[in-house]
Amino acid sequence: MDYSNLRRQIISMKKSLFDQGYLDEQFNQLEELQDDSSPNFVEEVVALFFKDSSRLLTNIERALEKYPQDFYRLDSLAHQFKGSGSSIGALRMKNECSMFKAHCSDRNLEGCRRSLQKMKREHATLKQKLETYFQLLRQVGPRERAVNSWK
């Protein structure tokens, strides 16, 4: 297996995720916590995020369809989503959640709906990109997956 080429792809992909604003420094913090005793830590945290966030997106969508809208509940759901996203360094997601919360504060239903669509798009894109990133990491195997190599 051409490890050096794989490593280059991994580094390039990670740089791209940061340069395009999908991830922030928090993701590096997660990688710093990964070690021999928790070799899949980052992937586990990310999996937790996508499990949480899928549920939250569904709940937000349902809450938006109710009438009258409960903007307090919508804000609370977006708050959870924002917190969860910030845990993995999902910068774009976090920013869009802030926009959603601002629309809740203004009781702007159309703004909330537009923001939700963006959140769903960002969510799907980030999921696909991170799945690809982890697939590449798995190919190099745990021995090569020394955290600081990817910085």
Partner 1 sequence: MAGAAAAERRVIRVLLVEDEEIHRFLARALLRDAGGVELSEAWNGAEAVRRVREGGAYDLILTDRQMPVMDGHEATRQIRALGVTTPIVGLSSDSLAADADAFIKAGADHFTPKPLSKEKLDNILAKFNLA
Cβ at position 59, least distance to partner 1 in Å: 14
Cβ at position 110, least distance to partner 1 in Å: 24
Contacting range for partner 1; rule: CB under 8 A; set: 6-14, 22-30, 62-70, 125-133: 22-30
**Are the CB atoms for 73 and 63 separated by under 8 Å?**
yes
Closer Cβ to partner 1, 9 or 80, answer by number = 80
Residue 95 makes contact with partner 1 by CB under 8 A: no
Closer Cβ to partner 1, 86 or 108, answer by number = 86
Build a one-symbol-per-residue string for 25-54: x at contacts with partner 1 by CB under 8 A, - elsewhere.
-x--xx-xx----x--x--xx--xx--x--
**Which residues, 6 or more positions from 31, have their beta carbon under 8 angstroms from its beta carbon?**
42, 147, 150, 151
Rounding to the nearest 10 degrees, give the CA dihedral for residues 53, 55, 61, 63.
-120
């960002």: which residue's tokens? 122
The count of other CB atoms within 10 Å of the CB of residue 126 is 23
Residue 115 makes contact with partner 1 by CB under 8 A: no
